[in-house]
Structure 1
């Protein structure tokens, strides 16, 4: 099944006030269940392309489709809701909230999403609120169990290793059951053993759950695991 398609994408950025063409009329298609990597030297446009795929940044011109529906010119509110429900993000710096436990960090996506529990009478506000919190906690624990960290659910980020924090970030990216997970240089701050373990985990999620993973990376380890490697240079496919 077609997951995402990009037609004639063109993106310009303005670092330090200087206009730079980051992506040059690029057309690309991803299918459900892919385990793909975007590769290229620094400045090749990897992060810009990943941001375009995730609808974090709009293209200067071109079109973005998700399952045959164009999302290029949706409103900011509509795009935010689309991201919350369809895309998971994993960042190099983890971006965990230090005042929340691992489980709370994972459940935060569901809090934003406003996840509801079928079968409850929502006019009974207190019961509804309790039920929703209980369901979100259960979903968060389920995601943490999938990444092997359920036993650390009530620990704060400062009490976890770098690899454990990245696992929490992966759990947060998958807790709302997205169809696509975007991962930006996620092994950059990790040793090779931890990186191998995380990639094993993501490959397992890809095979068993059918989650599409798209990486931005120049790490040979990530590229060797990818089923498809998309090479970029100067904002163009090579």
Structure 2
């Protein structure tokens, strides 16, 4: 099971689309030594405590409004709203690591303004496509030659599935030491839950995982208490969560805060 922490994903996207772009333009590699990941974790894990009075939620919402497709046609207003939120959060931050990350974000206005200027085949904040691609890589490396069947989703166009297959079968990594070979994935196809019992089973597992992750972040339920011992061992270690060992973390209850239901 590949789990995506949406809040962490947004923080990671902010680092990737703004700070990493700035670093690259300056001849620096923000991915080296895990610097980009560390900054995203700082923002996601410490941000809620560092920013009082719902400023963290306002900051994340402003970035989503800027980077998502709904900013088209109102880019300047979204840009101004985002940097107003950044400045307010930076001024109010109660934790130095968060303050330092926000100070760097304040200098990325040219890169934020360019978010919608380049043609991209997929929305910047779309997480289903990279999630399926990463899952395909893991299955291929674990089992050998595999084919992947996805549920019908609007985002899973033929182009999107070709991109998933290309990523899954291509080498990735910034250096020779970190380079990972492509996975043996034969094909990636769409299917319907009405025709494929495996997709029905995947839907059930996804619902169970959602309950377990809600338990982890402070929204427990009787179902989650019964399910977590079964679900946690199935969690993929490369899941998009702000931990080195997502499965081990999901066993416990997060003290960060009770999040809004999503």
TM-score (norm 2): 0.31
Q: Which has the higher contact order (CA 8 A, sep 6+)?
A: 1
Higher percent of residues as strand: 1
Higher percent of residues as helix: 2
